[in-house]
Structure 1
Amino acid sequence: MRRCAMRRIGCVSVGALLVSLLQFVEPSLAAERVTLNVAIGADVNVVDVHKNLLGPGFKEKNPNVDFNVVGTGTGEAASRAIYTKIKAQQDAGRKNWDIDVGLVSMIVASQMVREALLHKYVPGIQAARLVTGPETKRAFGVEVDGYVVPMFHNQIAIAYNPKHVSKPPRSFEDLVAWVGPNPKKFGYNGIKGGVSGQGFTVGWVYWKTGQYQAFTQGPFDKGKEPLWRKALEELRDFNRNVVITSGNAGTLDALNRGEIWMGAVWIDQLVAWKNDGRMDPAITPVMISPGLPIYPLYLVVPREAANRDWAAKYIDHVSRPEVQAKIIVERFGWYPGVDAARVLPLLSPKAKDLLFKDVTPDDLAKYSRQMPIGEYFNAILLAYEEIVR
């Protein structure tokens, strides 16, 4: 009995010692230093958001995590650079790829999903229920559900000067009717000056052809070519009475100087210019039916990222409604990447007025359109070059 008791005491002592050791070891494991490599395929201001606000905010709660944030440039080429690096590591058979989080465009993200380069991380994060909208389910005809979270949304809209436009258009029909008696007072940047012009062109084609579902869901049908060619012939006639600006910024600049009274713009860029004092505060955005494209930038996790779990936790942090409200919307004037209805109650009155006074969450839900699948997108742009120029 005594021996047995001694054994039990010994077992208890060893067990207690093991528990103590585990309690000692686990915090050290949890505090293992991690460096998240974040590649941003966007302007320097987006890079700075991660370096100076989003990263430090995450680090406050996770002091063991450091950040290496690198920008790869602007435009589609910036996202393509991230794709190229990840694809090269896959082709080389490398393990532990050295990009943990990427911010890429819709078209590049869709290609990465199609080529099995991304980790399906969204179902495992708390913000999964906030990742709504058709653009998070399909992009350019590819099922991206579970692989992407928009950091923010870029919405194309029609901006107008109420000093000259008493009744803004609510549809493409209204816009065409307004341009006739107001020649050279509407502007957009064609297809070479930026995505807002490409988006306006695509929105026009959707309106004229009635083929939104077919063009965005696929499959590609070359038999529909006469439809988009006829739409572009009518756009060529429309363009005779409009100004083709030098780019996204060129449209805003022409609006601010009063050279045009209405134009196709990115809403976030319009708000940013207002915040910087570069834009007449009276210039107002409006959505028109049947809609204009929305073009989010997606946060993605490469399939073999060295720190996949921490990458997902970081994106979860960026997606929290309070972070989206205070940083994404109020500090930078972007539309939230997650469910706007969950973010709207957290905004200041000023932010609500800037972003949602004229374009409401309901407007976004009703009139935001996806870009077409790649084959239709390329075909439309090529036909524009031939027909519209």
Structure 2
Amino acid sequence: MAATDMVGALRRRYDSFFASRRPVPFAVLDVAGIEHRFGPGDPQFTIAVRHPRGARALAALDQFAVAVAYLQGWLDVEGDLSAALRMRAFFTDLHPVARFSGVFTGLLRGRREDDRRAISHHYDSESEFFLTFLDTRHRCYTEGVFAADDEPLEDAMTRKMDLALEAIGVKPGDRVLEVGGGWGAFAEHAARHGIEVTTTTLSKESERYLVDLFEREQLDVRVVRQHIFGFTDERRYDAIVNMGVTEHLPDYRRSLRKYAELLRPGGRVYLDALAMRRKHVASAFMKRYIYPGRSAPLLLHQYLRHVARSPFELCSIADDRHNYYLTCREWARRLDLARDEVVQRWGEPMYRRFRIFLWGSAAGFDTGLVQAYRWVLRLP
């Protein structure tokens, strides 16, 4: 494809896209090394074309094709990647098969098996990979709660753990069920406060990491690799904690019914999740490369309708969008700092996949494309 075709397509799109928006200046460096500038002022970022396939993706104005071209190294972004991802709507994302195929295959496989495969796809990389960018104190893979924008991520995560414990009102000796153990952030913190924790996971790698962690630290935590919908216990729990797993449990009615089954009367449930205004608007790239299957952002209005029909009371709700932006921004920065190690141990495609995921998530929270909430329920 001639560079003129790519540049022409981009110029036409630039004129129409920014006709009613504040223009964002950027540049494109074609395969011949010639720079083409778009918009007034100095470019905020430069898209460098490394291969003719990258030029074809740009000329097609296709968001999914551009993302894949970046993963393959056919395109690079020099400068502010976050600024580039903020204008992702510049490219169209018309891929219904890629976006909804997980819904159809999930129906064929069944809810629990689909969830197991989806979780394994994202989480069954080596734990050490995630530890290159997570906070070093708790290894928490959901948002922290910041007192200030420049507060260390570790302190924001400790504040979140403390807020969760305070929200569920537990004391030493109480029993707490955690949905989704991750790398042991909440379970370890709670166990060090004398709480008896059972944590569930679907990931073999997470199970291995958690069992080793709690045995090494001699903490009273039971690890169960089982879907929450199939989990049972003879004794009810004093509280339930779900940090960032509601996105993987989009059947709200069934989730609430399960919580009510496992919780003692008067017990509380702490939850947090990223949210959007519509359920199936995640990009084709996200559904194909990050979270396949039927996972979906929280729909707060829909969730609250199910709460109203359940026995639960809503105790509190907080907007966590800015906290999640700060968290993702710091994760992305830490991943970039660890680039050499990540590429050496897990390869360039892994680094690029999570780089676009984390910086893209930060941009989504910052622009309001994605929201986030934490809330507390009580069973009367």
Give the TM-score category using the shorter length: 0.3 to 0.5
TM-score (norm 1): 0.32
Q: Which has the higher strand share?
A: 2
Larger relative contact order, structure 1 or 2 (CA cutoff 8 Å, min sep 6) = 1
